[in-house]
Every structure is written in structure tokens, then in C-alpha cells.
């Protein structure tokens, strides 16, 4: 495996360092951009001219991770040449919210047809997809046999429009998945949060998929605003600072985190990136900067590198936009914390997202919010 980073900044152009990455059918170029779409198209076109055989995949972001730097406005290209593994790519266009499950199942089925499938990496548009349903669709077919990781595209703190790129296609309603096939591929993954709980745990008494209507019989938005105080006027953006911890029932130790995507004043409801099941238990959370940084480090420490025997590694770091807003000028500390816990030959890149995709302890993949989620690849 050969890995390299290139980046593009307005007024400066491409900072080129191929790192020995060749143009092959099994070279993956991951594009993460916070630039306007047309500026991104122009920048990527020049790179595609140099790598016409490579597989290009990417998305819009809320900022880029460039090794141990945070690049708020620009574009990065993570280039990975697999020498003992092959790439297969599939994408689907979303036609309706109810299609999220079928879309995930269709992508999983198409990828699973390929021999020695070892890893699936997914990028999805970040505003309209029900990512919980999407992952349920993947799980229905993959059933935890193959690790599925990835993230949802971002749009800064604007929540207006996100896009996904897959080969020559760039649209606002796409999910793209790449499969890496090969018996010599090593895969690591980890996902951690680091938030403090605030207030009592409450029962979900009214919900439909990813829309929350009632908690303990009270209108969800009304109750949520009570905790936010003056910050409520800045919803949904301020909701990034106060996510919900979710578990299905009492006694269940594993929690998922859900972040608000929108509010409905008339219905007094909250819309999330993933499902909030009826009868589930939720608890408001708030930021603790030191714990967020520790959580990022824990994500790196949790990865299984038992089969790694030296050589280049590729780390894709996907962190939530809410973490960026909380950490502010200290945002690079969580990026540095990850890199310091990984082997010295790791090339790290990634982005700030509207949701992270990573397996649970069961092996089934699900949506996470407000986490640092890592995907690591190497070849033995």
C-alpha cells in the first residue's frame, strides 16, 4: 500500500505530494471539501486528469482533517494505492425518505457479490437520509460479517445542502459505497464520544422513525428548549451542542448519540439524523472539552491492530460538526490525540460530518453522532 495527502486552498492551488501513489484501477482518491461545489469540481478535474484510472469518491464537509491540522476552508485528497486488494464501487440515488432501508440493502447486496470483500466504506448525503434505516438495510444483508464504516456529508453549521461525489457523479441525494476486496487487507475501526449527561433520563412516549414528538408525555421541543434556555433561539444549529444519549431499555450499557437536524414549531417535534425508537430512553448531554479530546484518543486506542506488521497505514478520521463547534480553537487537539496513539507510519485525513457510521459491539453498523469515528486500512 502507498498513501499520500494532497490539498487545495483558494489562492494557493494544489499542494502536490504524490508520495509514490500510482494511477491504477485500485487507487482510491477520497475528496473532502468545504469549498463551493463548482470550485470543488474545478479543483478535482485537474487531479482526475493526472489519475484517470483511479476511483474518486468524496463529500461536502464542515471542515477537513489534514494529518494533525484542521483545514476549515479548502479541499483535501487522501490517495491510497492498494497493491494486494481490489476496489469495487456502487452508488444509489435517494428517491424518498422511505427508501433508506432498501437503498442500504441494495448497496450491500451488490458489494457482497464480490469475492474476499473485507471492508465497506460509505459516504451519504447528510440532511435527508435516514441513516439509521440505511444501516439497518446494510445489516440485513451483511449481518456484521464485514465492517461497515463511513460518514454523512456536512455543510458547516448551515444545514442547507450537502453533496456526495462518486466517480463522475456529484449530487445532493446520493449514497456511495466502496468495497475493498483482498485477503491481505487489515481493517481497524473505533468510535468514541466524551460528553457529560445533563438532567434525568426520559422515556420516549411519542416518535416516528427519526422524528421525536414526546418525552414523558411532554412535547419534545418544549422540553428541549427548557434545557437550552437562551440558546434555543439558535436551533437547530445550537442543538449540536446538546445531543441526546439513547438506549433501547434500562440495563442496556451501550448508548448511541443522536443530534438534531431540524425542528418543527407547529408539531413541537425534533428531527434527528437517526431513529429515536418509541419506548426508548434518552438523556440530554452537554460538552466537556477535555472529555471530548480523551474520547478521540480512546477511539484510536480501541482499534485492533493485532495483524499489523509494519508498513504504511491509512486512517480516515470522521468527527462530528458539533465537536468542532464545542472545541473551537482547540479542535486540533482531538486530531493530534488520535494521531499520537496510532503507529508512526499512519497517514491521517478526514472531515467533520453530520453523522458517523461504525459498528457497535454486536458487529452491526449503526449511525453515531458527536463521536470521533476512525477507519484504518493496511496491507500485510
pLDDT digits (tens, 9 = 90+) for 191-248: 999 888 888 999 999 999 899 999 999 999 999 999 888 989 888 888 888 889 998 8
pLDDT band at 97 (very low <50, low <70, confident <90, very high): low
Strand order in the sheet with 86-93: 86-93, 174-181, 117-124, 148-152, 355-359, 365-368
pLDDT band at 17 (very low <50, low <70, confident <90, very high): low
Cα–Cα distance measured from residue 223 to residue 238, given in angstroms and rounded to the nearest whole number: 15
Q: What is the pLDDT of residue 238?
A: 85
pLDDT above 70: residue 40: yes
**Cell triple for 126:** 447528510
Using alpha carbons, select from 340, 226, 206, 177 the residue that is nearest to residue 282: 206
Residue 19: DSSP 8-state:
T
pLDDT above 90: residue 94: no
Element (H, E) at 203: strand 196-208
- Per-residue model confidence as pLDDT tens digits over 127-165: 888 898 999 999 999 999 999 999 999 998 888 899 999
pLDDT band at 349 (very low <50, low <70, confident <90, very high): very high
Q: What is the pLDDT of residue 260?
A: 85
Q: What is the pLDDT of residue 99?
A: 86
φ, ψ of residue 73 in degrees (nearest 5):
-130, 105
Strand duo 55-60 + 86-93: pairing: unpaired
- Per-residue model confidence as pLDDT tens digits over 355-367: 999 998 788 999 9
For residue 212, how far is the Cα from the chain centroid?
22
pLDDT above 80: residue 19: no
For residue 186, how far is the Cα from the chain centroid?
20
The residue extents of the domains of the chain are 2-192+290-379, 196-286
Q: What is the pLDDT of residue 237?
A: 81
pLDDT above 70: residue 46: yes
CA angle 361-57-26, nearest 5°? 90
Burial track 49-60 (b if 16+ CB lie within 10 A, e otherwise)? eebeebbbbbbb
Q: Please check whether residue 222 is in contact with residue 268, taking contact to mean a CB–CB distance below 8 angstroms.
A: yes
Q: What is the pLDDT of residue 107?
A: 96
- Answer left, alpha or beta for residue 261, where phi above 0 means left and psi between -120 and 50 means alpha: alpha
Strand duo 86-93 + 148-152: pairing: unpaired
Cell numbers 418544549: residue: 222
The whole-number average pLDDT for the span 272-277 is: 86
pLDDT above 90: residue 255: no
Amino acid at each position: 500500500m502507498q498513501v499520500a495527502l494532497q490539498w487545495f486552498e483558494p489562492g494557493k492551488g494544489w499542494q502536490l505530494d504524490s508520495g509514490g501513489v500510482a494511477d491504477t484501477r485500485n487507487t482510491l482518491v477520497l475528496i473532502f471539501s468545504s469549498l463551493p461545489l463548482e470550485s470543488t469540481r474545478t479543483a478535482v478535474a485537474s487531479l482526475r486528469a493526472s489519475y484517470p484510472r483511479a476511483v474518486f469518491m468524496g463529500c461536502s464537509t464542515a471542515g477537513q482533517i489534514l494529518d494533525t491540522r484542521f483545514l476549515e476552508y479548502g479541499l483535501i485528497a487522501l490517495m491510497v494505492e492498494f497493491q494486494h486488494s481490489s476496489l469495487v464501487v456502487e452508488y444509489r440515488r435517494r428517491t424518498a425518505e422511505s427508501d433508506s432501508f432498501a437503498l442500504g440493502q441494495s448497496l450491500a447486496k451488490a458489494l457482497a457479490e464480490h469475492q474476499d470483500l473485507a471492508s465497506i466504506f460509505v459516504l451519504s448525503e447528510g440532511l435527508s437520509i435516514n441513516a439509521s434505516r440505511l444501516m439497518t438495510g446494510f445489516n440485513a444483508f451483511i449481518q456484521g460479517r464485514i465492517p461497515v464504516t463511513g460518514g454523512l456529508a456536512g455543510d458547516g453549521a448551515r444545514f442547507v445542502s450537502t453533496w456526495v461525489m462518486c466517480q463522475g457523479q456529484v449530487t445532493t441525494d446520493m449514497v456511495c459505497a466502496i468495497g475493498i476486496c483482498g485477503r491481505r487487507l487489515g481493517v481497524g475501526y473505533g468510535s468514541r464520544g466524551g460528553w457529560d449527561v445533563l438532567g434525568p433520563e426520559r422515556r420516549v412516549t411519542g416518535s416516528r422513525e427519526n422524528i421525536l414528538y414526546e418525552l414523558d408525555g411532554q412535547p419534545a421541543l418544549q422540553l428541549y428548549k427548557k434545557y437550552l434556555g437562551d440558546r434555543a433561539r439558535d436551533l437547530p444549529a445550537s442543538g449540536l451542542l446538546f445531543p441526546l444519549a439513547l438506549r433501547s431499555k434500562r440495563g442496556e450499557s451501550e448508548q448511541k448519540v443522536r443530534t438534531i437536524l431540524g425542528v418543527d414549531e407547529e408539531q413541537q417535534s425534533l428531527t434527528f439524523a437517526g431513529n429515536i425508537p418509541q419506548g426508548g430512553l434518552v438523556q440530554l448531554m452537554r460538552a466537556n472539552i477535555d472529555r471530548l479530546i480523551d474520547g478521540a484518543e480512546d477511539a484510536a486506542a480501541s482499534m485492533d491492530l493485532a495483524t499489523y506488521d509494519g508498513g504504511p497505514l491509512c486512517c480516515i478520521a470522521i468527527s462530528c460538526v458539533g465537536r468542532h463547534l464545542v472545541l473551537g480553537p482547540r479542535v486540533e487537539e482531538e486530531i493530534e490525540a488520535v494521531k499520537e496513539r496510532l503507529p508512526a507510519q499512519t497517514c491521517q485525513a478526514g472531515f467533520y460530518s453530520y453523522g458517523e457510521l461504525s459498528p457497535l459491539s454486536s458487529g452491526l453498523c449503526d449511525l453515531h453522532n458527536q463521536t470521533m469515528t476512525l477507519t484504518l486500512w493496511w496491507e500485510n
